Amino acid sequence: MMKIDEKDNALKKLNAVQYNVTQKCATEPAFRNEYWNHHEKGIYVDIVSKEALFTSLDKFDSECGWPSFSKSIARLNNIRDISHGMIRTEVRSVDADSHLGHLFVDGPKELGSARYCINSAALEFIPYEKLEELGYREYIKLFEGENHV
């Protein structure tokens, strides 16, 4: 978990949408967010804690208007969410307890059926070419031998 002063400093750097999504469980508009149609090679990290969460290798187009991933590279907190008249699984980051989005089981069967439907506002993208420079060296190996990004 992040220290309180570290989290407070990180939260001060967020814009209003990022703050509302990560701290107040808001949802950004579908198809009008930064990463829904993003295809660059790299990883996605929690905008608050910078904890690595997802890779471009596991991103797929679910046509829902938000970034969708078949799996996470981090341990996430899954919480039952009964808001808005639905039963869903909320996904939160471990280090910063940021609201990220929701987990559904309607993803591609060949990828395990999971669909992590994540708000772009909860994410920061780290391009593959900058992984080492920005302190994410251990994730470079995930891309070795891949050819589908």
Residue 134 lies in a domain: yes
Mean pLDDT score, 96-110: 95
Give catalytic residues, as residue numbers: 117
DSSP letters, 15-29, are -HHHHHHHHH---PP
Residue 148 lies in a domain: no
Residue 94 lies in a domain: yes
Residue 55 lies in a domain: yes
Residue 149 lies in a domain: no
pTM for the full model?
A: 0.93
Number of domains in the chain: 1
pLDDT at 149: 42
Structure tokens at 80: 């039952």
Report the mean per-residue pLDDT for the chain: 95
pLDDT digits (tens, 9 = 90+) for 44-62: 999 999 999 999 999 999 9
Residue 71 lies in a domain: yes
- What's the rounded Cα separation, in Å, for the pair 46 and 125? 9
Q: State which residues form the domain around 12.
A: 4-143
- What's the rounded Cα separation, in Å, for the pair 56 and 108? 16
Q: Cβ neighbours of residue 17 under 8 Å, at least 6 residues apart?
A: 26, 28, 121
Domain CATH code at residue 105: 2.170.150.20
